[in-house]
Structure 1
C-alpha cells in the first residue's frame, strides 16, 4: 500500500473546508483505482491534514494530482498556503 499525506496551514475556515471536501473531493478519491481510504483531519489552529491510502503508488500519485486541481478550483480561498506533501509506501499498519 501507498499513502499520500498533505498538511495545510493557515486554513481560514476549517468547517467550510471540511464541508467542501466531504461533498466534493471524497467522491473523487473513491474513483481513483486502488483506493483504500481517505481522511480529512482538523488538527486545530488553522491546520488541516489529509491522508489518502491506495493499493499502489500510481493511486497515491493520482490522488496528489486530483488534490492540486480540487484545491485550485474549490478551496483556494480557504487554503491560502501550499501544502506540505509526503508520499510513500506503507510499511506497517493495523
Structure 2
C-alpha cells in the first residue's frame, strides 16, 4: 500500500472546506483505481490534513494530481497556501 498526506495551513473556513471536500473531492478520489481510504482532518488553528491510501504508488500519485486540481478549481479562496505533501509506501499498519 501507498499513502499521501497533505497538510494545509491558513485555512480560512474549515467548516466550508470540509463540506466542499466531502461533497466534491471524496467522490473523485474514490474513483481512483486502487483506492483504499481517504480522511480529511481538522487539526485546529487553520490547519487541515488529508490522508489518502491506495493499493499502489500510481493511485497515490493520481490522488495528488486530482487534489491539486480540485483545490485550484474549488478551494483556492479557502486554502490560500500550497500544501506540504508527503507520500510513500506504507510499511506498517493496523
Question: TM-score interval w.r.t. the shorter chain?
Answer: over 0.9
The root-mean-square deviation of aligned C-alpha atoms, in Å, is 0.2
Superposed CA offset, 1:15-35 (max 9, x none): 000000000000001000000
Cα distance, 1:7 vs. partner? 0.1
Distance 2:64 2:29 in 1: 10
Structure 1 segment 1-94 matched on structure 2, within 5 A? 1-94=1-94
Cα distance, 1:40 vs. partner? 0.1
Q: TM-score scaled to structure 2, two decimals? A: 1.00
Q: Aligned pairs, how many?
A: 94
- Runs of 5+ consecutive residues of structure 2 not aligned to the other structure: none
Distance 2:2 2:28 in 1: 17
